[in-house]
Amino acid sequence: RKEVEQDPGPFNVPEGATVAFNCTYSNSASQSFFWYRQDCRKEPKLLMSVYSSGNEDGRFTAQLNRASQYISLLIRDSKLSDSATYLCVVNAPMDSSYKLIFGSGTRLLVRP
Amino acid sequence: DAGVIQSPRHEVTEMGQEVTLRCKPISGHDYLFWYRQTMMRGLELLIYFNNNVPIDDSGMPEDRFSAKMPNASFSTLKIQPSEPRDSAVYFCASSPNRGGLGDTQYFGPGTRLTVL
């Protein structure tokens, strides 16, 4: 089982649609969670951190369910510019250090 | 402010040749990470440094790969000898000094490596 699993998509939605992505993680000791966005042939960039209480940033809402070990990202009123791959990222504590584990990403295509 | 700088941006080489990738982290960031991204395996952490010291190199695929960080502003990832299966995009990222546990990682633009 992968440490972080995502549906690869693609999700093909019209402009203005609401779309949701889920991600599951296997390490129950994980403490930090993020969504990164990666445009084609570009580097990943932080979209938002995910907090236990859930958090919203404009059209984007992230939620965390620790009991079920999943994270979600909701995008409302999709724009053409939202087309990208969305990477779910979880930190994995290991001994005295940690590392971030990236999911393989969910591809979103927003069409006119 | 300059972000993470990587060079070269593209590298095409022949199997068996040595390849050196370079990275300059954001000034003041104590953590530096090297990642590799392929279609098949996604984004994989190869190694990371804290204050120039390698902390975790368990992701380095084999002895052909080595990484150094001689000072706070420079790191290299070397592949010797290179093989076609090393073809990938290699990203360097840096993170501020709160341990990176909950900190954003800032990625460089990547080096696209093709080994023929």
The answer to whether the Cβ–Cβ distance between A91 and B105 falls below 8 Å is no
Nearest CA in chain B to A33: B102
Cα separation, B35 vs A56, in Å, equals 29
Q: What is the pLDDT of residues A45-94, one digit of tens each?
A: 999 989 888 899 999 999 999 999 999 999 999 999 999 999 999 987 76
Cα separation, A62 vs A55, in Å, equals 5
DSSP helix/strand/coil, A61: strand
Nearest CA in chain B to A91: B101
Determine contact: B12 vs chain A, CB below 8 A: no
Residue A34: list chain B partners with CB under 8 A: 104
Residue A42: list chain B partners with CB under 8 A: 109
Flag whether pLDDT at A95 surpasses 80: no
Determine contact: B5 vs chain A, CB below 8 A: no
The answer to whether the Cβ–Cβ distance between B108 and A43 falls below 8 Å is yes
Cα separation, A27 vs A7, in Å, equals 18
Q: What is the pLDDT of residues B53-77, one digit of tens each?
A: 998 898 898 899 999 999 999 999 9
Q: Which residues of chain B have pLDDT under 50?
A: 100
What pLDDT does residue A43 have?
96
Residue B108: list chain A partners with CB under 8 A: 43
What pLDDT does residue A96 have?
63
Cα separation, B82 vs B59, in Å, equals 17
